[in-house]
Structure 1
């Protein structure tokens, strides 16, 4: 059968199109290294964020023992206010997420990240020079604005830079930086006062602004605001000589054109969008109410309550070191095994650790009751035997459980909800929809942190761990039934 003139013309056009040069292994390695360095530069904000989030670990035990401020005067904080030092940042997340979600869409990812210096500086300034509890809590509120703003702007930028084949690994780099920040914040508490740590936090955010001066704007953002020439230059550096830049630009514009023209309200009427929002919101609920954020913010308090004989700050540093190792593992396996499998495996091990912690605290509480019985002279021999059998546990059970818990959380439950929050939505409305999920996640975060002490009193510590274990197990069922795999999919 003879070719039609149209088909013949198409064949001749394809034959005469210049072939893209092949990329050598060395070129690819250098290009991926460049992407890693760019992601690291954008992740300085996560280092500052981690110091903000983990600051209560060194601060709260010190405030309970030596509550003097930078002026040498005393500050009085009750248990409710001590809980607020951790949970109030979640309320600050709300305006930070909404405002920076709008800024990211209006002025771009890079400029939005540079503006983070203002809420960070204000928050650390209030903390450093606080003379009373209200000023200290105000500083923590501005810290919350910083956290919400960092997650929205930096996460959006980072997810749009790498190649699809390494996007999962690159997206874990901020989590690795977070772990380093947790270690830094807790480690600083070994040698510095709670208000002195504020100056290190300010130094970190200045470093981020300096790093951002060397970074380009996101090519995805440039493409959807019709700055195609600039987007092409950035993409050529990011994707290498063998990539079809024109096709990627066209795909970005096609995938986002309808979303740009629609209002956010109309976008939210789409069934698939609402389903995606619902999935991410449930994952954020599981992430918070499986105890992860409680452990990160209150690690030293948990070790003190567990009766560990090892120094609580040193124990916390060890746990965060293990968490960092887990993040390194996630860099290797998130793109190999996929987000869904890593999340399920992570939640399964976390559930087992929580069950062990629940049983441990139940036995510890029983031991304390038997101590009282023995002290009152009732069945002294039996009570003493029970106490001795349990007495050897506190030195290692909480530490080992929390090390395993944090290691496995960093492979799945920690990074995956945030990664999917960026991958589930189109570029044009990614920051806004991710912002909605972050706002709701902030409510969950505030609730789980502020309810930590009340739930402990109402359920006992063992009962609280049973609750966390139940929610973690429920997350496994939900992930199997509802979460779709995004490994290898392009970010449109």
Structure 2
């Protein structure tokens, strides 16, 4: 009996290995033969699906910035004006909700699919925005922001997953940049809509109502979009995955795409997954890289600009409306630059260049009307060295030096949007294998929201306690650490298929 069993096992292993070898030969033929002759699939097929998915990122940017222009009016109307901790809570409660939403985002995306996950994340954003718009006190506002946060936490990781999984490899970085552009448009839109808030009583409520429309559009339009073929294949629905690939890539590319999926997802443990793998298994290194990248992204201090730039500009004597609009434009411009360069220079180059550009000195000197040098003590980020030199000459007045200081903040935002903003979510969606991608990205995004929560909660209090020089120096130090971390740990993924990246990380 034992001999017969061993012979049977050897026969099964030999048959399975033979099948894998035959499959590898078929894959090589498809990828290097027929696939090579027909070139790349058209980017136009997948573009509409990607654009609908970026509505989730638009809502993320909108809710990130909606509090900027409206916070002063909200605090007056709801009775907590001057309480910096309460103002910080209005910001950070949303981020706390996002932390919770992010933790469950991977389970939702893997359980019901990417399309349904988008629709589920839109629902709490609709409910939360409505609650915030009708709030009568601080607690009502906090509850509404908590609901919005859960949707915000689910949306961005699902958007990163979906865009990564439906995009052709040669434009995946460009399409991934669309999420940052959408977030920039959302931020700019929230600032623009919020401008009348200080002059028009109750206008801040309209700012929250305005976000209901794009959330409803996301839920509706996603019904007509393709499901992720990666998710369908992982669920054993190969025929449906082929049909979705035909929508996204075109008929001639379906066989090669399915063959590539088959090669990366094969194996005896392909259907088993434990969270312990992400914490101390063979995926823990990539989880560590992703979590650290997101933490350093937030510790650069970027969201202190997005949340509180109105307060900062007011303390510097700069009109907040025009300055905030410039912040939004700088963020959007940087996102377009990232879109152009993502698939040309690569993810790693953009990250290093971006964090390097965000490291600035935290003060500049201006020359007054008596030709004496004075230190400017506002909490704005400082200008680059060239602008700094100009501002310290007699060629500029004190008021001009203040505007040059605002220019330093704009350069900071621009540098962030070129790399540190869009790259981490794209990079992490590429680096994880399909079997664990959704849950792994969610865990990494949870670190993002956790650090973001504390930045939003404590920024104004720390600004009061330790001053802008020390606080901005801390942010600058984290930017420098990010440069060193990226140089040592980040893998370049430009132009590689998801399966090639997986096999490079987990041979």
Q: TM-score scaled to structure 1, two decimals?
A: 0.84
Question: Once the two structures are superposed, what CA deviation does each residue of 1:80-123 show, in whole Å capped at 9, x if it has no partner?
Answer: 11111222222111221122221111111101111123211221
Mark the CA change 1:436 to 1:398 in structure 2 (over 3 Å): closer, same or farther. Answer: same
Q: 2:94 aligns with which of 89, 101, 125?
A: 89
Alignment of 1:260 onto 2:261: no
Whole-Å separation in 2 of the counterparts to 1:405 and 1:363: 20
1:38, distance to aligned residue in structure 2 (A): 1.2
What SS does the corresponding residue of 2:196 show, helix, strand or coil? coil
Q: Shift of the alpha carbon at 1:445?
A: 0.6
- Note if contact 1:338-1:487 (Cα within 8 Å) is conserved in structure 2: yes
Query: Is 1:461 aligned to 2:468, yes or no?
Result: yes
Q: 1:250 and 2:250 equivalent?
A: no
SS in 1 for 2:432: coil
The equivalent position to 1:392 in structure 2, one of 396, 399, 406, is: 399
Runs of 4+, deviation exceeding 4 Å: 17-25, 74-77, 385-390
- Offset of 1:21 from its aligned partner? 8.0
Aligned 1:284-363 pairs, distance under 5 A: 284-308=294-318, 311-352=319-360, 355=361, 357-359=362-364, 363=375
Which residue in the other structure is 1:376 paired with?
none
TM-score by length of 2: 0.82
Deviation at 1:440, TM superposition (A): 1.7
Specify every segment of 5 or more residues in structure 1 that has no aligned partner in the other structure, as ranges: 1-5, 367-384
Aligned equivalents of 1:262, 1:331: Cα separation in 2: 34
- Are 1:240 and 2:245 an aligned pair? no
Contact persistence 1:123–1:139 (CA under 8 A)? yes
Which runs of structure 2 are paired with 1:29-178 in the superposition (5 Å)? Answer: 31-63=42-74, 67-68=76-77, 78-178=83-183
1:207: which partner in 2? Answer: 217
The structural deviation recorded for 1:280 is: 1.3
Whole-angstrom distance in 1 between the partners of 2:334 and 2:365: 24
1:417 corresponds in structure 2 to 424
Q: Judge conservation of contact 1:109–1:153 (CA < 8 Å) in 2.
A: yes
Shift of 1:76: 5.3
Q: Distance in 2 between matches of 1:108 and 1:48?
A: 20
- RMSD over aligned CA atoms reads 2.8
Q: Does 1:279 align with 2:289?
A: yes
Cα distance in 2 between the residues matched to 1:457 and 1:388:
33
Does the residue aligned with 1:169 lie in a helix, a strand or coil?
helix
1-side partners of 2:82 and 2:474: how far apart? 29
Q: How does 1:423-442 map to 2 (within 5 A)?
A: 423-442=430-449
Q: CA deviation at 1:143?
A: 1.6
Q: 1:53 to 1:250 in 2, by over 3 A?
A: same
Give me the whole-angstrom Cα distance separating, in 2, the residues matched to 1:21 and 1:441.
39
**Following TM superposition, by how much is the alpha carbon of 1:36 offset from its aligned partner in structure 2, in angstroms?**
2.0
Structure 2: where are the runs of 5+ without partners? 1-17, 198-202, 367-373, 379-391, 500-507
Q: Is the 8 A contact 2:123 2:215 kept in 1?
A: no
Cα displacement string for residues 260-290 of structure 1 (whole angstroms, at most 9, x for unaligned residues): 313222454324x111111112111211111
8 Å CA contact 1:120, 1:146 repeated in 2: yes
